[in-house]
């Protein structure tokens, strides 16, 4: 049994990672300031696993409070998810994004160094491949970003490379997520966006429960088979299991390293593919209109997942149909999310 700190563990992806960690017998400590999550998540994690994580309502920017958590618990590793993630908002309030994501990571790294916790799994994103790389994306491609949110991820990856090269006690896994959707099959935890959803799946599920009138499909004239955008959707439970594999590898190897891994399914689906898979899973009609393209969107991207397959022994096992069934199960049982 290991003691794992999960920053942002109350959020969409973090809550699923906490469930997987608890199910594998680890002790889980969550640090989250609840800026985009709800305390009810703790009860739900408990209902699924019969176990409770230890929760601290702490902001990563608060070095003193974060240090106190490290002082109290002997951490074996940290999974660092805590971040702001809305791409559009990041262009409106870039300072808040840089401060929260980059400064928050710096505080965490400083405290980890002080308490000599050097195993780190970092939540990166496919957005670090920028707009110019060919598809599928491979880990060695050059990184760039097209918006402040994406730049925070590139900056943090750069910072992690620098600290690893300066001090070889660090042992770091950079996990680049593609498009996580779906929910735990229990329907007890899932994605609960505040306000109008920016991402496709939560918008679709809100149309299905009647909270939104219709989906706007951003662009029907892309050079893709049906003209709509193509993405690499991954079930959030498969994504969570990828973190366990990355953690196992970090802890098992005697040689310290820094490695990036794409976590995706390795294939693309269009917006219309997702809409029809969701209609099949839910039995609901999803009304939509094709509107203009969303600024900053790419026509198509998906992952090359060879490295994660070979080095982590990880691959997805849940289909697009299961992603839609589980997203629908969550939304149907929790039409208002956690509140």
Q: Which residue has the tokens 């839910």?
A: 282
Give me the residue whose beta carbon is nearest to ligand UD1.
229
Site size for ligand NAD (CB under 6 A): 27
Stretch that binds ligand NAD, among 35-43, 134-142, 249-257, 309-317 (CB under 6 A): 35-43
| Site track 158-197 with ligand UD1 (rule: CB under 6 A), x = hit | ---------------------x------------------
Token digits for 141? 């491609």
262 is a site residue for ligand UD1 (CB under 6 A) = no
Shortest distance, position 129 Cβ to ligand UD1, whole Å:
10
Nearer to ligand UD1, 58 or 263 (CB): 263
Q: Which residue has the tokens 């229990």?
A: 186
Task: Looking at 24-147, list the stretches that DSSP marks H as alpha helix, in order from N- to C-terminal side.
Answer: 40-49, 63-72, 87-92, 94-97, 104-114
Helix, strand and coil in the chain, % to nearest 5: 40, 20, 40
C-alpha to C-alpha distance for 215 and 291, rounded to whole angstroms: 10
Cα→Cα distances 135→54, 87, 319, Å:
41, 21, 21
Residue among 27, 296, 41, 309 nearest 189 (CA)? 41
Residues 96-115 that bind ligand NAD (CB under 6 A): 100, 104
DSSP-derived letter for residue 127 is G
Shortest distance, position 330 Cβ to ligand NAD, whole Å:
13
149 is catalytic: yes
229 is a site residue for ligand UD1 (CB under 6 A) = yes
Q: Which of 149, 177, 222, 269 is catalytic?
A: 149
Contact with ligand NAD (CB under 6 A) among 5, 6, 48, 60: 60
C-alpha to C-alpha distance for 119 and 182, rounded to whole angstroms: 28
Contact with ligand NAD (CB under 6 A) among 4, 5, 6, 10: 10
Dihedral sign of CA atoms 264, 266, 270, 273 in order: negative
127 is a site residue for ligand UD1 (CB under 6 A) = yes
267 is a site residue for ligand UD1 (CB under 6 A) = no
Shortest distance, position 87 Cβ to ligand UD1, whole Å:
4
Active site residues: 149
């Amino acid at each position: 049994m290991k003691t794992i700190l999960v920053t942002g563990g109350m959020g969409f992806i973090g809550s699923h990672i906490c469930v997987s960690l608890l199910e594998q017998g680890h002790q889980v400590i969550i640090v989250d300031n609840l800026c985009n999550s709800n305390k009810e998540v703790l009860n739900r994690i408990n209902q699924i696993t019969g176990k409770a994580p230890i929760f601290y309502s702490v902001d990563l920017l608060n070095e003193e409070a974060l240090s106190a958590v490290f002082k109290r618990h002997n951490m074996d590793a940290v999974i660092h998810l805590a971040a702001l993630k809305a791409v559009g908002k990041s262009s409106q309030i870039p300072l808040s994004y840089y401060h929260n994501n980059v400064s928050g990571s710096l505080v965490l790294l400083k405290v980890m160094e002080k308490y000599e916790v050097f195993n780190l799994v970092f939540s990166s994103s496919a957005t670090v491949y920028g707009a110019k790389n060919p598809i599928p994306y491979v880990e060695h491609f050059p990184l760039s970003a097209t918006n402040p949110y994406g730049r925070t991820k590139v900056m943090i990856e750069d910072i992690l490379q620098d600290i690893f090269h300066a001090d070889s006690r660090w042992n770091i896994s950079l996990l680049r997520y593609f498009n996580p959707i779906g929910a735990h099959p229990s329907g007890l935890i899932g994605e609960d966006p505040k306000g109008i959803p920016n991402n496709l799946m939560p918008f679709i599920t809100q149309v299905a429960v009647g909270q939104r009138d219709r989906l706007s499909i951003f662009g029907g004239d892309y050079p893709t088979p049906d003209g709509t955008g193509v993405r690499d959707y991954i079930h959030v439970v498969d994504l969570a299991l990828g973190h366990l594999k990355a953690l196992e590898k970090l802890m098992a190897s005697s040689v310290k390293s820094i490695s990036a891994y794409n976590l995706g399914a390795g294939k693309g689906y269009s917006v219309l593919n997702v809409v029809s898979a969701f209609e099949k899973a839910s039995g609901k009609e999803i009304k939509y209109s094709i509107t203009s393209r969303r600024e900053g969107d790419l026509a198509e991207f998906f992952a090359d997942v060879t490295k994660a397959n070979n080095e982590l022994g990880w691959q997805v096992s849940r289909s697009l149909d299961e992603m839609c069934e589980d997203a629908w199960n969550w939304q149907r049982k929790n039409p208002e999310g956690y509140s």
